[in-house]
Amino acid sequence: MINRMKLTVAAALVSLAVMPARAQYLVDTGAGAGPDAWVLAGGASQWGTNVNWAGKFTLSSASVITSLEYWMDVVNAGSFAIRVYSAAKGLPGSSAALYARGVSMGSSSVAGGAAWRGATRQALTLAPGSYWISFESSRTSTFDALLPNYPASPLLDQAFRVGSDPWEPAGTFEPFGVRIGGSAVVALPGDQLEGGALLGRFDAGAMNAAVPESATWVMLIAGFGLVGAGLRRQRAAIG
């Protein structure tokens, strides 16, 4: 009976140890508090002008990006694209996008009010450096949203584009909210770099798995130790 109880406790510890860790954020400006807000709009929206926004962020180490979000209040349903560019050559669009993902916002998002919206469950691995995250609505999209200004910890640089004009710097003027989820990884000798993206080593499924924290490893090792001790006692009793 005692051995069975120990095995049950050990199994519980192991199951706790392999539970995913809580979401971590490499960049988190906090939500825009307003009352002012920028407009993110497609060319076919009520504004009649295509307006896009980008924010610049820096990674101090190689990192796996799992989510890219803006704090926004959706006004009209529609679609937009999220892109990530290297900032090494200047403003967004100075080089090819390292990442692009289309996002569609339905009518339910319109009634939801301001919230974090964007792409989650992603697996983008980036090398250390500076990057732009842009939310871009096309000239034919009906989508439009408000980006409330003044988050608690704003990004240090922003850019905007109107219609087909080039991107223009906006500095820190009336910043908006950005949140980028992920975790740092160890870059090994021989890892391949291409335009700022770290390539050739990470599996998409492995990237989505959370890395256990130190306390989790302790629980995992303790659980396996109890399982081993219980099995040894059972063998001794049988012998």
Please write the tens of the pLDDT for every residue from 4-33: 444 443 444 434 333 334 559 999 999 999
Average pLDDT over residues 124-144: 93
Q: State mean pLDDT over 63-75.
A: 95
126 vs 119: CA distance, rounded Å: 16
Provide the pLDDT for residue 18.
35
The mean per-residue pLDDT over the stretch 102-113 comes to 83
Residue 189 reports pLDDT greater than 60:
no
The per-residue pLDDT for 167 is 95
Q: Look at residue 219 and tell me whether its pLDDT is greater than 70.
A: no
User: In this structure, are 91 and 196 located in the same domain?
Assistant: yes
Same domain, 121 and 35: yes
pLDDT at 2 over 80: no
The CATH number that applies at residue 178 is: 2.60.120
Query: Are the C-beta atoms of residues 86 and 150 closer than 8 Å to each other?
Result: no
Backbone angles phi, psi at 110, to 5 degrees: -65, -40
pLDDT of residue 209: 38
Q: Are residues 107 and 162 in the same domain?
A: yes
Residues 230, 189: one domain? no
- CA-based nearest residue to 55, from 164, 180, 182, 152: 180
- Please report, in angstroms and rounded to a whole number, the separation of the first and last CA atoms in the chain: 18
In this structure, are 80 and 141 located in the same domain?
Answer: yes
233 pLDDT higher than 80: no
* 218 and 124 both lie in a single domain: no
| Residue 141 and residue 58 share a domain | yes
Q: What is the pTM of this model?
A: 0.71
- Are 139 and 225 contained in the same domain? no
87, 130 Cβ separation under 8 angstroms = yes
Name residue 172's amino acid.
Answer: T
Count of the separate structural domains present in the chain: 2
Residue 83 near residue 92, CB atoms below 8 Å: yes
Same domain? 67 vs 130: yes
Print the domain residue range for 81. Answer: 25-204
Same domain (yes/no): 80, 167: yes
Q: pLDDT confidence of 129, banded at 50, 70, 90?
A: very high
Do 175 and 216 share a domain, yes or no?
Answer: no
Give yes or no: residues 6 and 85 share one domain: no
Is pLDDT of 218 > 80? no
Please tell me the number of Cα atoms within 13 Å of 81 on its side-chain side: 15
Given a cut of 70, is residue 188 above it in pLDDT? no
